Amino acid sequence: MGAAGFSTTESARLLLSVLFGVMPLSVVLAHEGENLSGLSDNPDKAIFAVRENSTTCLMVEFAAKFLVPYDVLALNGIDLITEQSAFMLPRSAEIEGICGSSESEIQISWKNKAYVLRIYFTKELRGKSSQVWKISKVQFVYDTSETSHFINAYNPGKHTASSHRLSALVTPAGHSFLCTAQQTLTLISSDHQKGVTLSMYDTQIQPFDISSDFVFSEPYKCITDQRERLEETLPIVLAVVLALIILITLVIYHFHLKLSTPSQPHLPQDRSLYKNM
């Protein structure tokens, strides 16, 4: 399998680096890609893995939706109108990838590479001793001459939409990123600087330090999920606290009432004793 995500010039430069011992071969060559989407019961969710030496080194699981603007010619034959094409990432996509110790990449393509999604990951040091990984770049190549999603596109052809100074899904090293909530990225397209939207949800990703084959490491939950969990449990906690307050109030009132009520004189039970009183 050839190199993924590099141009011919870049590939030649990297190969020279390998020959002269500057860069290890494992960083340059694309590794084996596995499509595991059939394991998911969700018809929108895709599961892709990259493997090195028969061991998983990168794995992503998500449902991804694209919203891509494109131009069509107006009825007057002069003006241009911007339409929106919305489509999901197909589960049948082809996978390539590159695994490294501090940089990794996955390339997902479909429709004979009319569509190519590349996600770049970087591991870095935060503070003095803690390491994190993040998505450092996202690139999406799409072809508006592909008519299943782009109808009557004006001046059809390939365009590339890319992120700018991205630092997304920051996760402690050795953990997978887990998020049910939607994560949205905006990519700027070469098609007149149009904004392409990539939305990911039901996401679990791990690009480094996978200890077991095809198994994510301990998840690091996104802040949005943590907040939603808190919003779900907060009413229950408040209800329990309120019930305890009511119960304590009733107990205090009962004892207060008992202490404040004067004691009644003891009357004899034998009625015959009343004559002597």
Structure tokens belonging to residue 239: 């209800």
Structure tokens at 149: 């999603």
What pLDDT sits at residue 15? 46
The three-state secondary structure class of 7 is: coil
Report the C-alpha gap between 85 and 68 in whole angstroms: 5
User: How do the pLDDT tens digits run along the chain, 277 residues long?
Assistant: 333 444 444 444 444 444 444 444 334 456 889 999 999 999 999 999 999 988 999 999 999 999 999 999 999 989 999 999 999 999 999 999 999 999 999 999 999 999 999 999 999 998 888 999 999 999 999 999 999 999 999 999 999 999 988 999 999 999 999 999 999 999 999 999 999 999 999 999 999 999 999 999 999 999 875 554 544 454 665 666 667 777 777 777 667 677 766 655 555 555 555 555 5
Q: Give the tokens for residue 174.
A: 């050795």
Domain ranges of the chain: 31-221, 222-262
On whether the CB atoms of residues 199 and 184 are closer than 8 A, the answer is yes
Structure tokens at 208: 């480094």
What tokens were used for 49?
């893995």
* β-strand pairing of 176-179 with 219-221: parallel
Q: Residue 244 is encoded by which pair of tokens? A: 């305890």
**Whole-number Å distance between alpha carbons of 9 and 120:** 19
pLDDT at 99: 95
CATH for 31-221? 2.40.160.110
Q: Which H or E run includes 252?
A: helix 223-260
CA 216 to chain CA centroid, nearest Å: 14
Place of tokens 């098609």: 191
* pLDDT score recorded for residue 55: 92
